[in-house]
A and B are shown apart, each in its own frame.
Chain A
Amino acid sequence: MTVETLDDDVAGVVAGSEYERERVPEGALRGPSSFWGMYAGEHTAGTEFMIGPLFVAWGASAASLIFGLLLGNLLAVLTWRYLTAVIACDERLTLYYKMERIAGRNLVAFYNLANGLLFCFLAGAMITVSATAVGPFFPPGTIEMPTFQSTMPTGLAWILSCIAIGAAMTLVALKGYGVVAQVGHYAAPWMLLVFVACALVTLGRLGTTDVWALLTPPPGTEQKISFLGIVFFSWFCNAAMHLGMADLSVLRFAKKPSAGWASASGMFLGHYVAWICAALLLVYWVRAHGVDPTKGVDPGTMVNDSVGWAGLLCVIVAGWTTANPTIYRAGLAFQGMIPGLSRTAATLLAGAICIGAGIFPAFAMKLLDFVGLYGTVLAPIGAIIIVDHFFADSLGIARDPAARSGSAFNPVVLIAWLLPVAVAMYGYWQHNLFASYLPLPCAIACGLLYALLSRAGGGQAVARS
């Protein structure tokens, strides 16, 4: 799970300098090769070191990991290919401009705030993961590392580590992200190999190549995540990007919707190979050192033990290259919300929130839940775009209603978006529903509500006014 390591195109989009409020012209379109490398890089991030071991901690079966991840990632790729890429190539607009045309400028600002805050928490999780790589450079016990059950800071040394790493990321974000985007691009193939290297060392230490047996939890292990849970997690951990249409901003540069297949490089390398390799790291610690899988071991310690400094470098680089553009994007979102706020002040504000979130290990240790909630909040907006794009004409409702009426705030969108999200949050907090089950029903409900309310008069009224 990650956010985008921005390439030059996307950098332009985010900076607001490249076709932000117009269709991408024919001359600026890119072939599929541009997207394969980008997706492979952006979905091999520091947080992959957390997700694989968390699956082990949750007692996932070997079948769930081998076949569930395969199916879930396939569904994610199909969503990118047949929804996001199709709309992106038809419309050739950014998510934000398309939303503005449907929902109005003021509502987009509200969406930006939600997006910016969620970005901060995600970047905070990446800071947490990167900070675990600091520990092995000091004598044992100097920095108490968090476990999977940690939610609060483990001590002053931990807090200082997070502040140092987060401050460095924020300072780089202040300078823009061109260099970091390049480092991320160069690092992508090497990072994947480091994941695989960790797995090979683990297999060597355990004296077997039977991955199925290694991934099979010991008898009596409580299974907190089922096959279906793994499928839905891997399908919707990037729900904001595919179903939520954030990747319209990227794929609008594609010559053909078939560029959507490029997401397969990210899913099957980063979210399949890397997750399973990372899972094997914790399997080794459970089997060889008797570690309680529900408490786990921090990524820095496991990777250092497995492949040494190359692994620590990988943890830091993977976290840095993905957290940095996240902080930058969050800063842009805040800047859009608060008139008169400078880019520097906005980025510092975003960085401070990220560091605050990073100090608390809860966001990283509850990552399986957090990314589900992230998708639950943001994916429904994509459903509104799907209804607008595919069904508006046949339903007899106006396309781009806010743009037609000049409205700055379309209340139909707000109701259709927040009502299902509120119900989903109630289900999560009060009934302990697994967060990754929520984005799909939430998005479907949001799309239906938008169609019904628009048909009932809201959208038509906006269109007529």
Chain B
Amino acid sequence: MHTPAKILGLLAIAGTIVPPALFMWSALGLDAVKAIMFVSSIAWFVAAPFWMKVE
């Protein structure tokens, strides 16, 4: 479970920060940015508990 969760987590991180960067460079519309960020946010909270270590 660790590896798939890590991959999903990394994709979620990318989905949170890459779309706004693309919007800044006029390569993506704002509605798409909002949709991708929301899905990525959900994905992050699904993946993080399986991946991130809580000390």
A203 interface neighbour in B13, B19, B24, Cβ under 8 Å: B24
Q: Are A197 and B54 in contact, with the CB atoms below 8 A?
A: no
Chain B residues near A190 (CB-CB < 8 A): 12-13, 16, 41, 44-45, 48
B52 interface neighbour in A186, A194, A307, Cβ under 8 Å: A186
Give per-residue flags for B17-42: 1 if the beta carbon is below 8 A from chain A beta carbons, else 0.
10111011110001001110110110
Distance in Å: Cβ of A358 to nearest Cβ of chain B: 25
The answer to whether the Cβ of A392 comes within 8 Å of any Cβ in the partner chain is: no
The answer to whether the Cβ of A196 comes within 8 Å of any Cβ in the partner chain is: yes
Q: Are A309 and B45 in contact, with the CB atoms below 8 A?
A: no
- Docked Cα-Cα span, A197 to B17, in Å, equals 6
Q: Are A307 and B49 in contact, with the CB atoms below 8 A?
A: no
- Docked Cα-Cα span, A144 to B11, in Å, equals 37
Chain A residues near B19 (CB-CB < 8 A): 197
Residues 165-201 (chain A) with a chain B CB within 8 angstroms = 182-183, 185-187, 189-190, 193-194, 196-198, 200-201
Chain A residues near B34 (CB-CB < 8 A): 307-310
Give per-residue flags for A222-234: 1 if the beta carbon is below 8 A from chain B beta carbons, else 0.
0000000000000
Chain A residues near B49 (CB-CB < 8 A): 182, 186
The answer to whether the Cβ of A465 comes within 8 Å of any Cβ in the partner chain is: no
If A185-B54, A186-B48 touch, does A308 touch B35 (CB 8 Å cutoff)?
A: yes
Q: Are A197 and B25 in contact, with the CB atoms below 8 A?
A: no
- Docked Cα-Cα span, A397 to B14, in Å, equals 58
Residues 199-214 (chain A) with a chain B CB within 8 angstroms = 200-201, 203-204, 209
Distance in Å: Cβ of A190 to nearest Cβ of chain B: 5
Which residue on B lies nearest to A207, using beta carbons?
A: B26
Using a Cβ–Cβ cut-off of 8 Å, how many residues does chain B contribute to the interface with A? 26
The answer to whether the Cβ of A149 comes within 8 Å of any Cβ in the partner chain is: no
- Docked Cα-Cα span, A182 to B34, in Å, equals 26
Chain A residues near B33 (CB-CB < 8 A): 197, 201, 307-308
Q: Are B23 and A201 in contact, with the CB atoms below 8 A?
A: yes
Chain A residues near B26 (CB-CB < 8 A): 204
Residues 288-320 (chain A) with a chain B CB within 8 angstroms = 307-311, 313-314
Q: Are A310 and B38 in contact, with the CB atoms below 8 A?
A: yes
Distance in Å: Cβ of A300 to nearest Cβ of chain B: 15
Chain B residues near A187 (CB-CB < 8 A): 45
- Docked Cα-Cα span, A183 to B19, in Å, equals 24
The answer to whether the Cβ of A8 comes within 8 Å of any Cβ in the partner chain is: yes
Chain B residues near A307 (CB-CB < 8 A): 20, 33-34, 37
Distance in Å: Cβ of A315 to nearest Cβ of chain B: 12
If A7-B55, A185-B54, A204-B24 touch, does A193 touch B16 (CB 8 Å cutoff)?
A: yes
Q: Are A310 and B41 in contact, with the CB atoms below 8 A?
A: yes
Residues on A facing B (Cβ under 8 Å): 7-8, 30, 33-34, 37, 182-183, 185-187, 189-190, 193-194, 196-198, 200-201, 203-204, 209, 307-311, 313-314
Additional 18 contacts, C-beta under 8 A, given A197-B20, A201-B24, A308-B33: A7-B54, A182-B54, A186-B48, A186-B49, A186-B52, A193-B17, A194-B37, A194-B41, A197-B16, A200-B21, A201-B30, A201-B33, A204-B24, A307-B20, A308-B35, A310-B37, A310-B38, A310-B41
Could you name 24 residue pairs across A and B whose Cβ atoms are closer than 8 Å? A7-B54, A7-B55, A8-B55, A30-B55, A37-B55, A185-B52, A185-B54, A186-B45, A189-B13, A190-B12, A190-B13, A190-B41, A190-B45, A193-B16, A194-B37, A197-B17, A197-B19, A200-B17, A200-B23, A200-B24, A204-B24, A307-B33, A310-B38, A314-B41
Which are the 6 A-B pairs with shortest beta-carbon distances? A308-B34, A204-B24, A200-B20, A186-B48, A310-B37, A197-B20
